[in-house]
Amino acid sequence: MVNEPSNSKTMYRNLILLVLLWEVVGRLDLVAGGALPSLSEIIIRMWIDRHDYPLHIGSTLYASSAGFLIGNILGVCAGVLFVLYPMTLRLSRGFNIAIFSLPPIAIAPILVITLSGMAPRIVLATMGVYFITMTATVVGLSQADSRTSELIRAYGGNKLQILRLVQFRSAIPSILAGFRIAAPNAVLGAILAEFGGGGRWGLGTYLLGSLGRGEPDRLWGIGLMATLISGASYFLFVVISNRFLKGSTSITLNTAIPTDITKNEHVLKTFFITMGAIFLPISIWWALIFFSGLPSMIAKTPWGVVEYLFFSNMAEAAQGRLVAAIAETLPITFIGMTAGLLFAFLLAIFSSLYFQVIRAFMPIALITQTMPLVALTPLLVLILGRGNSLTLWVTISVTFFPAFVTLTQGILLVPSLAKDLPKAYGGSKWQELIIVTIPASLPYLFAATRLTVPRALLGVMIAEWLATGKGLGNLLNQSRGYLDYGMIWTVAAVSVLLSIIFYQLVVYTERKVLGKLGMKTAE
């Protein structure tokens, strides 16, 4: 990450300009007839509401910290297990993809009916954290210097000693980076669960409760508070990792290629592992229902869902509603995601021509990473109303920012030597763009797509749930109201499945395209 003094100076200048502009626009009620109040108005309102905040904040903080803690413990332990026994990593692939790509809002109602109290919120926060920390741990541990690992092995050291003496310590920067990204995600998870289920306290509940009352200044105050909390959690870990990481970076480049475990493997073995990976999440679902001891009326097993959708007396009606909802949700997800990605790609490419632009804009783009963007949908409702354009803008905004950050950081990694080559032959900036920058950023475009698939679906479903009354999000919300448990489980299962399919499609295309170009995938 770029973090030089001159950089932060321009960042502060830009921030101050932004706030001034906001103040003027807000005071003059320029946006949607006062839907965007000025910062000072919002702060005054927050002061008036000051007695409401502590309990709401406390509740959200409690759920997200508990989820953060549990998710990190699970993530680090799973990461260690996966590295020690690579077979477990392959077996858990299905489970991991499911956790990564499922839209949290889809399973929030399920958690609310199967668990009670704070548990649904903690679980959702945990799920937001687990995947990030697990990946960071695996990447960190396996990037450890293989030469020193061999030294330990040569002295008769076992896997655990390699882990303790070499891998764990060298994984710490990566794990800390994971914590940093996971912290805002825990807050987001908690707020989404508050949207999805009852409970009196929590910023999500507060936001939802204030949505119908037409008080923009209060809504913005809550949104700002949520952003502040998740931003603070992010910067806490920035400070910690800066403290910790002084002067112990590796000295020489490790050129050893990680061993390919699928080499020379019997086809049957590969087949069974793949089957295992597919059936593990389904078995976990089954086992959880079984051990929860909930009545089958409420808690559906995988088979229960199939039965509901195909063999029950309401099967036909259920199918009809489901298909109609999917038909509403999918196109707008596609459009929003494509627009967000395209916009990000173009902007990243063009700002690479003007280096200063990236450097000035990057810190602000990074800050957006810590915002619980999806959770701020109620604010967009104020400005955009409850039509399709709301869904579109939510989707674009939740895909644009992460994609832009991924792409720009990727472009910054293009060695300047490679860029100098066209220059040395008298090439123009455009030639440099076409010959070097665009091809080099392709892996990052795919990485960004992988990252945004689940977010896009989440964005659409949240907008549908809270505002537009269409598609899968609305179907979920309605079924919740009608206590149509079969449909709740079905929508959850279908949206997870859709996410997984999308994700796998992207991964497949990525392998094909990058393979053909002889490029490696970017993490």
- Among 114, 142, 486, 167, which residue's Cα sits nearest to residue 306? 486
Q: State the angle between helix axes of 93-101 and 485-517 in degrees (0 to 180), rounded to the nearest 10.
A: 110
CA distance 134 to 116: 27
In whole angstroms, the minimum distance from the beta carbon of 264 to other proteins comes to 8
Vertex 137, ends 136 and 139: CA angle to 5°?
65
Two tokens, residue 348: 């990243």
Give alpha helix (H) positions in 164-266: 168-196, 203-211, 216-244
Closest CB to other proteins among 6 and 264?
264
Handedness of CA 233, 366, 101, 442 (dihedral sign): negative
Closest CB to other proteins among 252 and 313?
252
CA distance 189 to 184: 9
CA distance 69 to 130: 10
SS3 519: coil
- Among 183, 179, 177, which residue's Cα sits nearest to residue 65? 183
In whole angstroms, the minimum distance from the beta carbon of 159 to other proteins comes to 12
In whole angstroms, the minimum distance from the beta carbon of 256 to other proteins comes to 10
In whole angstroms, the minimum distance from the beta carbon of 151 to other proteins comes to 5
- Among 77, 57, 76, 72, which residue's Cα sits nearest to residue 187? 57
Closest CB to other proteins among 249 and 416?
249
Handedness of CA 334, 339, 341, 345 (dihedral sign): positive
In whole angstroms, the minimum distance from the beta carbon of 156 to other proteins comes to 4
Which DSSP symbol is given to 422?
A: H
Closest CB to other proteins among 9 and 164?
164
> How far out from the chain centre does Cα 79 lie?
18
Closest CB to other proteins among 16 and 256?
256
Which parts of this chain interact with other proteins (CB under 8 A)? 145, 147-148, 150-157, 161, 165-166, 169-170, 247-252, 264
- Whether residue 340 contacts residue 396, with contact meaning beta carbons closer than 8 Å, is answered with yes
Closest CB to other proteins among 212 and 247?
247
In whole angstroms, the minimum distance from the beta carbon of 166 to other proteins comes to 7
- Whether residue 371 contacts residue 227, with contact meaning beta carbons closer than 8 Å, is answered with yes
In whole angstroms, the minimum distance from the beta carbon of 211 to other proteins comes to 50
CA distance 49 to 237: 30
Two tokens, residue 499: 């996410």
Closest CB to other proteins among 125 and 175?
175
Side chain identity, residue 41: E
Name, in order, each residue with C-beta under 8 angstroms of 369's C-beta and a sequence gap of 6 or more.
Answer: 181, 184, 234, 401, 402, 405
CA dihedral 488, 492, 493, 498 (to 10 degrees): 140
Closest CB to other proteins among 65 and 142?
142
Closest CB to other proteins among 88 and 248?
248
Sole residue written with tokens 């939802």 = 208
Closest CB to other proteins among 255 and 313?
255
CA distance 33 to 188: 29
In whole angstroms, the minimum distance from the beta carbon of 335 to other proteins comes to 42
Closest CB to other proteins among 260 and 523?
260
CA distance 71 to 124: 10
In whole angstroms, the minimum distance from the beta carbon of 266 to other proteins comes to 15
In whole angstroms, the minimum distance from the beta carbon of 242 to other proteins comes to 16
In whole angstroms, the minimum distance from the beta carbon of 134 to other proteins comes to 23
Two tokens, residue 87: 């077979």
Closest CB to other proteins among 154 and 267?
154
Closest CB to other proteins among 157 and 209?
157
From residue 472, give the alpha-carbon distance in Å to each of 160, 357, 517. Answer: 47, 39, 38
Side chain identity, residue 151: L
In whole angstroms, the minimum distance from the beta carbon of 247 to other proteins comes to 6
Side chain identity, residue 9: K
Sole residue written with tokens 């000035």 = 360
Name, in order, each residue with C-beta under 8 angstroms of 450's C-beta and a sequence gap of 6 or more.
Answer: 503, 506, 507, 510
